[in-house]
Structure 1
Amino acid sequence: MRELEVFRLVLPFGRRSETLLVKLTDHGGMTGWGEAVSPQPKTWSRLEETLAARLIGVDWEHPDTVLGGDSAVDMACWDLWTRMRGVPLAEAIGGTRTSLMATVRLAPDPSLESLVSRVNQQVCAGYGHVTLDVRPGWDVEPVRAVRQAYPALTLAVDCGNAYSEQGQLVALDSYGLEVIERPFAAGDVYAHASLQDEVAASVAVEVASTAELDDYLTVRAAKVLLLRPSAFLSLSDARRAHDRAAAAGWDIQCAGGQGAGLARAATVAVASLPGCTLPCDVTQPPRQNQIVTPIVGANAGVIAVPLTQSGLGHDIDENRVRRLAKDSFHA
Structure 2
Amino acid sequence: MAQMNLLQAINSALVTAMTEDEKVMVFGEDVGHFGGVFRATSNLQQKFGKGRCFNTPLTEQGIIGFANGLASHGSVPVAEIQFSDYIFPAFDQIVNETAKWRYRSGGQFTCGTLTIRTPYGGGIAGGHYHSQSPEAFFAHIPGMKIVIPRNPKQAKGLLLASIRDDNPVLFMEPKKLYRAAVGDVPETDYELPLGKADLVKEGTDITLLAWGAQVEIIEKAAAMAEEIGVSCEVIDLQSILPWDVETICESVCKTGRLLINHEAPLTGGFASEIAATVQERCFLYLESPIARVCGLDTPYPLAHEKEYMPDHLKTFEAIKRTMDY
Q: TM-score of the superposition, structure 1-length normalised?
A: 0.30
- Relative contact order higher in (CA < 8 Å, ≥ 6 apart): 1
